Amino acid sequence: MGSGIKRVLSMLLGAVSGGQRDKRKRMQRRRQLQTTVELRVRMDCERCERQVRRALGGMRGVQHVEVSRRQQKVTVTGSVDPHEVLRRVQSTGKKAELWPQYPTYGSAAATAVVHCGLGPPHDRWAPVCHPRNMDAEHIANLFSDDNPNACALM
């Protein structure tokens, strides 16, 4: 019964003060839930860029939209759901996916990638593929007369 009285009093005080407390709490929650969503979107021209910017700018909770056509990257800041942002961009007809999150420098996963010989990840280029080393004996056997499966040019 005590909680019911508290609820009634808080509603009355909220109505008298104009609901400022509730409004402040809602604003604080929105600030706490602010996230940054990065997407990889295939864009070819200014029209594509403009379509994506307009689609995301009209979403509720979006505070800032940054589009980089050169990197094929869209960054959305605000209190939004990443999958909802992805769905909205895909509704424009563009191919979109969440930006891949590589491990940060110095973390255990990043050092594991470097030690495996793959090198640091790049945004636009594939990792360098090194040719396999072949022993000199194996190369000499390729052109041997004793080997029937050898090169037929000689």
pLDDT at position 75: 94
Q: Is the domain of 95 the same as that of 107?
A: no
Q: Is the domain of 53 the same as that of 97?
A: yes
**Torsion sign across C-alpha atoms 140, 145, 146, 150:** positive
Q: Is the domain of 116 the same as that of 75?
A: no
Q: Is the domain of 25 the same as that of 46?
A: no
Q: Is the domain of 41 the same as that of 75?
A: yes
pLDDT at position 77: 92
pLDDT at position 104: 55
pLDDT at position 116: 47
Number of other CB atoms surrounding residue 52 within 10 Å: 23
For the residues of the chain, what is the DSSP string, one character each? -HHHHHHHHHHHHHHHHTSHHHHHHHHHHHHHT-EEEEEEE---SHHHHHHHHHHHHTSTTEEEEEEETTTTEEEEEES--HHHHHHHHHTTT--EEEPP-PPPTTSHHHHHHHHTT--S--SSSPPPPPPPP--HHHHHHHT-SS-TTS-S--
* Mean pLDDT in order along the chain per 10 residues (154 residues): 74 63 68 82 91 90 91 91 92 90 57 49 59 58 62 56
Q: For residue 4, what are the domain limits? A: 1-32
Q: Is the domain of 9 the same as that of 54?
A: no
CB-count burial class (<10 Å; 0-12, 13-18, 19+) for 92: middle
Count of domains for the chain: 3
Q: Is the domain of 108 the same as that of 61?
A: no
pLDDT at position 88: 93
Q: Is the domain of 87 the same as that of 50?
A: yes
pLDDT at position 114: 47
Q: Is the domain of 112 the same as that of 97?
A: no
pLDDT at position 4: 77
In CATH, what number is assigned to the domain containing residue 78?
3.30.70.100
pLDDT at position 6: 79
Q: Is the domain of 21 the same as that of 6?
A: yes
